[in-house]
Amino acid sequence: MSSFLFLQISSLHKHISDIVEVAAMCGVNIVCFQEAWTMPFAFCTREKLPWTEFAESAEDGITTKFCQELAKKHNMVIVSPILERDSVHGDTLWNTAVIISNTGAVMGKTRKNHIPRVGDFNESSYYMEGNTGHRVFQTAFGRIAVNICYGRHHPLNWLMYSVNGAEIIFNPSATIGELSESLWPIEARNAAIANHCFTCSINRVGTEHFKNEFTSGDGKKAHHDFGHFYGSSYVSAPDGSRSPGLSRVSDGLLVAEMDLNLCRQTSDKWNFKMTGRYEMYADELTKATQMDFKPNIVQE
């Protein structure tokens, strides 16, 4: 890692440290940062350098060590989404969230299950779909999962985290207004209702400009930026209620109090999991993935 990149990451560490300090004053037990929080969201450019130099080990990289110190200092669980470099498997890159216990220990990591191929989002030039499944982490403050960014568009992705016992599902994202802002207030809120859990939608803020122009293959002229990352982070509850959203234009800290009893209370009321026909869905989905699949369409 170059000295310039190290300086940039260190500056972000200082910025986040100040925010976490305030979170601790507010009594926060679990904090989640935005997707790939230590770097520009440069995956539009298809350029490998210098952006791949931001990749770190999930287990003992400088950002994980930084988060371990913060977590232990403040007795706080930290969800840290980073660009991961897996040196054990050929220096492969992944879009990963690292979960740090309130004791400062690394509990584990979970990787982005769904990779977008839409508009400027050229992420598969850097990393592919994750291979960690739908891990849920039993923390001192509840069972949590991380559905990274584009996974929020896939209802079955939310479902599988819930099936594995998640009470809170974080959705760290980096998404822009023109593409997804109309969907943003709806998807995670619907997921909270459908899965009897809390969901936390986290988005970055601002417009990031890149030196070299890039194109998206959509016929538009080459350009230097993704568009505006519109922030608007919010929390949804299993009963359909939600918090106000954070700003569209500036950083912020959203503190929400969650009564995890509401997960069971809502489940007892609506019984979505009890009435869900999972065995039927599993059977039909298995058939639908076969080469000889024929849709079940009845004709006259």
| Residues with catalytic roles | 35, 112, 149
Planar angle of CA 209, 213, 216, nearest 5 degrees:
100
**202 to 101, 169, 225, 279: CA distances (angstroms):** 20, 11, 21, 33
Nearest Cα to 100, choosing from 131, 55, 67? 67
Planar angle of CA 86, 167, 157, nearest 5 degrees:
55
* 8 Å CB contact between 76 and 243: no
Q: What CA–CA distance (Å, rounded) separates 34 from 81?
A: 7
Nearest Cα to 123, choosing from 102, 152, 94? 94
Q: Tally DSSP H helices, then E strands, for the chain.
A: 8, 11
> By three-state DSSP, how is residue 16 classified?
helix
Question: Torsions phi, psi of 284, nearest 5?
Answer: -70, -35
**91 to 5, 10, 85, 127: CA distances (angstroms):** 19, 23, 6, 11
* 8 Å CB contact between 114 and 157: yes
* 8 Å CB contact between 173 and 149: yes
Q: What CA–CA distance (Å, rounded) separates 224 from 210?
A: 5
